[in-house]
Structure 1
Amino acid sequence: MPVQSRLIFLLTLLIMAIQPVLAEQNKPSTAVVQEGSARFTLLTDRLIRMEFDSQQHFEDRQSMTFVNRQQAVPDYQVSRDEQWLQISTQYIKLRYRRHSSEFTADNLAIELMVDGRPVKWHPGKKDTANLLGTTRTVDGFKGRVNVHNGEQLELEQGILSRDGWHLVDDSDNLMFDEANWVSDHNKDQQDWYFFGYAHQYKDALRDYTRIAGKIPLPPRYAFGYWWSRYWVYSDGEIRDLVDTVEQYDIPMDVLIVDMDWHNTYGLTSNQPKPTPFKGMLGWTGYSWNKAVFPEPERFLQWTEDKQLKVALNLHPADGIAPMEDHYQDMLNALDDPVIKDDWLAYRMSDKNWSEAFFEQILRPLEKQGVDFWWLDWQQWPTSKFVAGLNNTFWLNHTFFTDMQRTYPQRRPLLFHRWGGLGNHRYQVGFSGDAVISWDSLAFQPYFTSTAANVGYGYWSHDIGGHIVDDKAVASDGELYLRWIQFGALSPIFRTHSSKTDVAERRIWMYPQYFPAMRDAIKLRYSLAPYLYNAGYQAWQTGVSMIRPMYYDYPEQSQAYQSPAQYMLGDDMIVAPVTQKADPDSMLASQSVWLPSGQWFDISNGALLEGNREINGLFSIKQIPIYARAGAIIAQYPELDNLKSVPDKLLLTVFPGADGQMTLFEDDGMSNAYQQGGGAITRMESKRNKEGLSLHIFPVEGDYQGMPQQRSYRIRLPMSLVATQVKVNGKLLPKAQQSYDGKQLTQIIDIPVEDSRQDIHIDIDYPADWQAAVSALSGKAGYFDRLNMLGDKLKLMSARQDWGATIPDSILQVLDTATKINYHPNNLLDDIKTFDQGVAGLQDNIDGMPQISANEAKQLTAFLQQFQLTGETND
């Protein structure tokens, strides 16, 4: 490397080392109590660090996991008698035998209260009810079972436990030096972190991320749709693919180019050949394959013009091949190169090697237009050059911090595998090559939400699955649809597959399921402000956007027994369908536990009482989503991508209670959010005897590109038709009000207003509206099911007699939504007529002569499944 470049690199490291914030983080907390060779640090009133070092060489450097021990001093008391040291806070009491040796069950104990009962911890006590965290990969797993050896997938322990405490042993962890580089550790020291949070799970995660680093907010584009497929794509094929995506009106933000973007030196057949380091030829490469990308700069300029962010796949552990474009530059920059068969060995833990790798190998590609990197499988878990160093962790750290240094004006984004505690600082995770199966899909909601227990809130799965175990299953369009519906409501939405002709990932190749697939992708984009806001909250609080039910309901046993569902942000429960639909009804069953209170079934338009389990039935286009009663959900209008914040916002105000929301928005790319940058918009809704009032507060804050003016569309599901609407005291013209009869939703369009203006919206309904509105609950779902019934009846009658038709009494019921659209003011009368018609459906169907007795029996079974809430358990 040229001397000038090396000096710049070292100067950057020096600047980082002396930054005041980092200097503060390296200091020990002032809440320190030392007793001989033991040191206790009160990081919070429920989190205590316990060190024992016979030489009293206590460790103040940052560890790989814990990087910020400088915390506000909690209230605590210290007392000593001849035998015991006692440290007490409001929540925990620690006792340590003075003048004793390293920590054992005989000399150390901590007492705390858990769910009203005393609990005593001591060294060696087992955490028997740990709620687990995550693991490095699901490669080769069909659900939770490895298809190669039958072993169960084991998740690492997390920070949370139903026992009420958890101990992190950081004794063998490596340290960061002042330049944020790997350093050794004191092997003779005990270094423990005791979390005594009982069942205050959110508090535990908040404090964990304070000392282990916050969960960074990804760029806004990362919340969009990612296209990925393991395939030998050419420049032209990708252009054709994107053109087709646009023709089918599918929004997209990220383009992942898998391994075949680069040359595959020495690989002349499909037979795998090893590199000198026992990886596979074809996995690693850093030079464009000009046979498929003849002019990479023009390709990357085209992706930029298309507003697509691009990531390339890497396998760094295999080193640098001698035929790479910048091999000689890399060789020249190394002080002490390690060469095997002319290949430069991977040595990321060597600062000189790392410096050269980023500057000579990756920087030229980034300058061409590569936006971020996909770090794929590493051939060995731990470093061969630094004892105890986790290769995956270290790659994630070096890549992420290199982006921070090199591009300080934008947020880093990395796509990689889990490397252990502390890896939540480097989003986004790649979960690996799952087997394509219904079992794999069913496991992923649990796997994803449980990772929140270690702050790892941005898992990206191979949506659709990767490994083909059963060709019929791999080509199942219904499975792919349900996986897409889960993916649309997961942290990162990336479809993917292996090199195979059966696992098609182009959604337009599944005509039967395509509309529902596209609807799921568009739902993702519609919910982008809600999801992005949840990502910002994760940075603030340590609580990931997708989290288990027990975070909010820790003392309810059902919250621990509902692994197939999760909270999506603060106001939604999602229970993805993970099994095939019944072939006759085309409805799939999915159970969900609803906590106490009322919840709005979005897919069926029903307001449901909670504190029970519901067995719902869902058509292929329905996703089981339940909104908290009164919730206000911010949404975007239809978008092609998430490049900018639109000047129109959709607000869905759900029935059942008052509600509020605080929406965070910013430029989507800078790190200003970490210093208070961005803008906040607050909304509140209140219900009264006249109707509903909605208050949109003036926006607070600013950011580059912020809409200075904004219009709003207010959606009120399960709503009567408003008698009048006032905006800031003035009547809103009827032309700006409409009613969706199919969804039974009042729509109110608020014209463009200054975003810093107060907006008060008052919506009046007919007298006694609160009693009348309950008649609408679930009817939108019935309309959808009746369309399915109508299709069945038309097919059955047409088979018997080409002139046969369906009785008018049935047709009138089927077309109720259209009548409501034409005359919304007759809504309640039409609903009453509809209820009467539904009650007589069975008799009318039985009276159709062209339908056989067997077919009538099938329709009877179908009608019985119309009960939207299914069987319930109180």
Structure 2
Amino acid sequence: MAADDDDPSPPATVRDGRARFQVLSPTLIRMEYAPDGRFEDRPTFNAVNRDLPAPAYTTDVEGGERVIRTGRLTLRYRLNSGPFSERNVTVEPRDGEAAHPVWRLAGECGFGVPCEAELLRLSGGAALADDQRGSTGPGFVDGMDGTVAWTQRGVPAAGPRRVAFRYANGTTETQAALVTAGDTRVRVDLPPTGSWDDWAEAGAVLTLPAGGGNLSVGCAEQGLCAFNVDSVAVTATGVPYPPMPDAAHSAANLGGWRRSLDYADGPRPLFDGLLSRDGWFLLNDSATALADGKPRPARNSSQNGYQDGYLFGYGQDYRQALKDLRDLTGPAVTLPRWAFGTWFSRYYPYKDADYRDDILPAFRKYGVPLDVLVVDTDFKSPHFWNGWGWNPQLFPDPEGFLGWATGEGLRVALNIHPSIRADDPRYAEVTATVGHELPEGACEAGNPCRVFDFSDPVQLRAYFDLHRPFDALAPIVWWPDTCCDSSVATTPGISPDSWINAQYAAYIDGQGRRGFSWNRSGSGFTVYGESAVYPAGPWADHRYTVDTSMDTTSTWELLAFAARYTVLRGAIGMPYESHDIGGHNYPKNGNRLPPDLYARWVQFGAFQPVLRLHSNHGYRLPWDYPQPARDAAVKFLRLREALVPYTYTLARQARDTGLPMARGMFLNYPGFQEAYDFTSQYLFGDDLLVAPVTGPGTDGVRTQVWFPPGTWTDWFTGRSYTGPKVETITTDLGTMPVFQRAGGILPTRTDDVPAVDASPLDKVTLDVATGADGEFRLYEDAGEGHGDRAGELAWTTVRYSTAGGVTIGARDGTFPGAVATRAWTVRLHAVDAAPARVLLNGAEMDGGAWSFDADTRTVTIQTPPLPTGTPQRVSVA
């Protein structure tokens, strides 16, 4: 292990002149290049923890290269070759291909290589789009009455250079672009390309200084802006437009994120995530602000050549990659237990009386649990969009309404848009705190408003002061919808979404509650649309945010993509995704979905991290639909509530390990092509395979399911399947393809409750798929507050042995509200014949305490209340 003897750097550090490497794990190496030789040891907003156990590694110089080997990863850097680039760095994962990472930040471009235009700085009407074929990367830029701007790097010497770009012009007329470098502007004519799916190259020769500078492409003349831009490239003159240097790596990337799925009616391209089939990923942290939100010193800015990145080289060990990400960037936010129940939301001007007299009574009538009432934007006054008071026509007694909701065991969420009108009675409070007028900004539907800069601590305080009168009435669940107002967070090196989400989490934490934001993530505030990608990216959002896919359009294709989207969000360390269950918009047949589409959405939601019924004025409650869709939706909403002991444990696993709740098949079975091909099915935990139905029909609906190795038992029918193989599964609206792995143990709540926290968890059902040994650790804590941070939590280990039956361990740990006794219902699945005897702690149980269902091949055993502090054993003979 070679490091400079006088180097004050952290352990597991290797220095070579202006390059420094920190071996953080066998599959993760930090790489820094500092032109002045001064490195950065303070945490950044993304990388909050580098104090990891030093792994074994070796280093040497071979053939003019610094070589670092960990046993899982080899890194090579050509000595004295300057800043890191694809020309002087090689990564070799143990079970992957050798590769050359491209060092590039969003908003900048290197010399001689093209850059995706959508990753640059977009302004005016320029925006990310993805509705045309033939583009590279996650999309292209349209709305070229705006501008694509970037910082050019690496121009070797001053002189003429070609500034080129790839464009599409689907009109029949020549359009006109303006290429700008400093004070030089050159008009470029853009002939038609034949269609919007056909692309051509254009450009101009401009004199650039050594290094590069700031460049842009925009529209030269109003009325001639009808063109799209896919990528840009600065090269020597006379050189053909270059290929994407990392095209193969991008193709291998499994995808990961975008700011939202607003208006999507099917699949949409995603920005690259952490996981890639070629086994590596570079997280470029060079421009990210420090952990306290302050910009890095100028000497450490990317403009001065400083580089700071994290090279993940995991091969096919995707689970290790997610653990590395979790260890580096911090654990996921801990959500309160009630967040895993049922949320109801509708963009509709409900009155207080509607909730009291109609909505909640219907939930109670049909026996459907409800945990969260989401009150959308209409409740506000004086303006429904961004008012900071209650509309007295809808809520004449806000305190009474919130008190009623609390008494019914409900949490209330309020939609907030981050702006304020100058005529709002509370605007005077803001100006008194800030000391000046806020600037005017763009808000929804031309609404004149004043906007905040959340990077300014004083403005941030004034903004949250607007929330306090609401919280004084009851603890509010805040929905800070940053869809459509032009408030900003101007601190360089932080994504505005990430910054405001962090502030909401801190604000709520300060009240002694579990703070989280429920919002978009990873980019910047916009007026309905995708914004430019910020250098910091989405890598910190999991610490603060329940990501939401937002205003989707409900189709079968979108339902299938929603399942995949949750999985891929998990592939960037985001364990929680909140879809509008039912879809936000439905363009056909008025306000109701086809009954089968609605029922399948609810089924899907039952096995998602968060289930939130929502729509744009449309109906999304079971009793809005005819049979059999009504009963199917009621059944799965009840099931969702019963699953909370399981989902709450998966959430804790996500915090501790970095594994998402909904796990792509490739996480557990990376060597099987089917794990990548069957994109709409996933593992919910490691032992439950979920394959949402994504096609129409009410009876005899066929779904192709890939079963990995092992035996998997249908949760509804009891039939078992042995993989690896593909099977066609037939369902009606009352069932869906859900399968338990042999040895899998699934804890659910036995008793029906109107809300998650309505009563203690003193009755638990254990569904056990026989056929292999297995183990599950049930997690519990108080469900709210910060006691878990002080160790107020408990684990109960449940094991199944084909030889010895089910052993329920003594509870390890305790917390306020922990039950002293618990009645267990043990269901053994995939049992071919009734047992002769059933034993509890070695004593034979009375025949009335157990039963056998031959149709579903299930033995059901019910115990009396048993002490949770002592182990219990249930077995059959």
Q: TM-score range by the shorter chain?
A: 0.7 to 0.9
Change in CA separation of 1:381 and 1:156 when aligned onto 2, cut-off 3 Å: farther
Change in CA separation of 1:262 and 1:175 when aligned onto 2, cut-off 3 Å: same
**Is 2:231 aligned against 1:135?**
no
Deviation at 1:662, TM superposition (A): 1.3
**Is 2:826 aligned against 1:714?**
yes
**Is 2:421 aligned against 1:321?**
yes
Which of 93, 112, 124 is residue 74 of structure 2 equivalent to? 93
Change in CA separation of 1:739 and 1:78 when aligned onto 2, cut-off 3 Å: closer
Q: What residue number does 2:508 align with?
A: 403
**Is 2:761 aligned against 1:646?**
yes
Deviation at 1:300, TM superposition (A): 0.5
SS of alignment partner, residue 751 of structure 1: coil
Contact 1:218–1:427 (CA<8 Å) still a contact in 2? no
Which of 292, 297, 318 is residue 399 of structure 2 equivalent to? 297
Change in CA separation of 1:666 and 1:71 when aligned onto 2, cut-off 3 Å: same
In 2, Cα distance between equivalents of 1:136 and 1:172: 20
In 1, Cα distance between equivalents of 2:9 and 2:352: 53
Change in CA separation of 1:38 and 1:748 when aligned onto 2, cut-off 3 Å: same
Q: What residue number does 1:799 align with?
A: none
Which of 344, 348, 356 is residue 227 of structure 1 equivalent to? 344
Q: What residue number does 1:393 align with?
A: 498
**Is 2:810 aligned against 1:698?**
yes
**Is 2:696 aligned against 1:573?**
no
Matches within 5 A, 1:414-813: 414-419=517-522, 420-471=538-589, 474-500=592-618, 503-581=619-697, 586-637=699-750, 638-643=752-757, 644-688=759-803, 693-719=805-831, 720-740=833-853, 743-764=856-877
Which amino acid is 2:32 matched to?
E
SS of alignment partner, residue 863 of structure 2: strand
**Is 2:485 aligned against 1:362?**
no
In 1, Cα distance between equivalents of 2:760 and 2:868: 13
Change in CA separation of 1:384 and 1:616 when aligned onto 2, cut-off 3 Å: closer
Deviation at 1:602, TM superposition (A): 1.4
Q: What residue number does 2:478 align with?
A: 373
Which amino acid is 1:558 matched to?
E
In 2, Cα distance between equivalents of 1:106 and 1:440: 41
Q: What residue number does 1:822 align with?
A: none
Matches within 5 A, 1:34-45: 34-45=15-26
Contact 1:229–1:505 (CA<8 Å) still a contact in 2? no
In 2, Cα distance between equivalents of 1:752 and 1:525: 22
Contact 1:313–1:375 (CA<8 Å) still a contact in 2? yes
Deviation at 1:380, TM superposition (A): 6.5
Q: What residue number does 1:121 align with?
A: 100
Change in CA separation of 1:183 and 1:53 when aligned onto 2, cut-off 3 Å: closer
In 1, Cα distance between equivalents of 2:844 and 2:770: 23
SS of alignment partner, residue 865 of structure 2: strand
In 2, Cα distance between equivalents of 1:563 and 1:191: 34
**CA distances 1:306-352 after superposition (whole Å, capped 9, x unpaired):** 11011100110xx2224445332222211444354995431211111
Deviates more, 1:712-721 or 1:247-256: 712-721
Which amino acid is 1:375 matched to?
P
Cα root mean square deviation, aligned: 2.3
SS of alignment partner, residue 206 of structure 1: helix
Which amino acid is 2:558 matched to?
S
SS of alignment partner, residue 471 of structure 1: coil
Q: What residue number does 2:47 align with?
A: 66
Matches within 5 A, 1:265-304: 265=383, 282-304=384-406
Greater C-alpha radius of gyration: 1
Deviation at 1:742, TM superposition (A): 5.5
Deviation at 1:674, TM superposition (A): 4.2
**CA distances 1:170-223 after superposition (whole Å, capped 9, x unpaired):** 22323333xx55666612212221100101100110011111111122110000
Contact 1:311–1:370 (CA<8 Å) still a contact in 2? no
In 1, Cα distance between equivalents of 2:561 and 2:483: 24
In 2, Cα distance between equivalents of 1:384 and 1:71: 31
Deviates more, 1:588-597 or 1:118-127: 118-127
Change in CA separation of 1:459 and 1:105 when aligned onto 2, cut-off 3 Å: closer
**CA distances 1:747-791 after superposition (whole Å, capped 9, x unpaired):** 211111111122122211xxxxxxxxxxxxxxxxxxxxxxxxxxx
Q: What residue number does 2:13 align with?
A: 32
Q: What residue number does 1:172 align with?
A: 287
Percentage of matched positions with identical amino acids: 32
**Is 2:461 aligned against 1:338?**
no
Which amino acid is 1:708 matched to?
A
Q: What residue number does 1:784 align with?
A: none
In 2, Cα distance between equivalents of 1:108 and 1:753: 61
Deviation at 1:668, TM superposition (A): 0.9
In 1, Cα distance between equivalents of 2:282 and 2:707: 32
Which amino acid is 1:737 matched to?
W
SS of alignment partner, residue 594 of structure 1: strand
Deviation at 1:78, TM superposition (A): 2.8
Which amino acid is 1:402 matched to?
Y
SS of alignment partner, residue 311 of structure 1: strand
Deviation at 1:410, TM superposition (A): 2.5
Contact 2:294–2:491 (CA<8 Å) still a contact in 1? no
Deviation at 1:651, TM superposition (A): 1.0
**CA distances 1:497-521 after superposition (whole Å, capped 9, x unpaired):** 1024xx4435354343211111101
Contact 1:383–1:389 (CA<8 Å) still a contact in 2? no
Which amino acid is 1:513 matched to?
A
Change in CA separation of 1:105 and 1:496 when aligned onto 2, cut-off 3 Å: closer
In 2, Cα distance between equivalents of 1:556 and 1:506: 39
SS of alignment partner, residue 348 of structure 1: coil
**CA distances 1:783-802 after superposition (whole Å, capped 9, x unpaired):** xxxxxxxxxxxxxxxxxxxx
Deviation at 1:120, TM superposition (A): 4.1
Which of 48, 56, 73 is residue 29 of structure 2 equivalent to? 48
Richer in helix (by share): 1
In 2, Cα distance between equivalents of 1:683 and 1:522: 24
In 1, Cα distance between equivalents of 2:613 and 2:495: 28
**CA distances 1:653-691 after superposition (whole Å, capped 9, x unpaired):** 223222222111111113343454311111122224xxx
Structure 1 unaligned blocks of 5 or more = 1-26, 145-152, 266-281, 765-874
In 1, Cα distance between equivalents of 2:873 and 2:586: 55
Contact 1:736–1:748 (CA<8 Å) still a contact in 2? yes
Alignment length, in residue pairs?
697
In 1, Cα distance between equivalents of 2:847 and 2:69: 65
In 1, Cα distance between equivalents of 2:775 and 2:792: 22
**Is 2:388 aligned against 1:262?**
no
Change in CA separation of 1:92 and 1:642 when aligned onto 2, cut-off 3 Å: same
Q: What residue number does 2:187 align with?
A: none
Change in CA separation of 1:368 and 1:324 when aligned onto 2, cut-off 3 Å: farther
Deviation at 1:80, TM superposition (A): 4.0
Deviation at 1:496, TM superposition (A): 0.7
In 1, Cα distance between equivalents of 2:716 and 2:696: 18
Change in CA separation of 1:106 and 1:448 when aligned onto 2, cut-off 3 Å: closer
Which amino acid is 2:661 matched to?
M
Deviation at 1:247, TM superposition (A): 1.5
Change in CA separation of 1:594 and 1:675 when aligned onto 2, cut-off 3 Å: farther
SS of alignment partner, residue 87 of structure 1: strand
Change in CA separation of 1:589 and 1:382 when aligned onto 2, cut-off 3 Å: farther
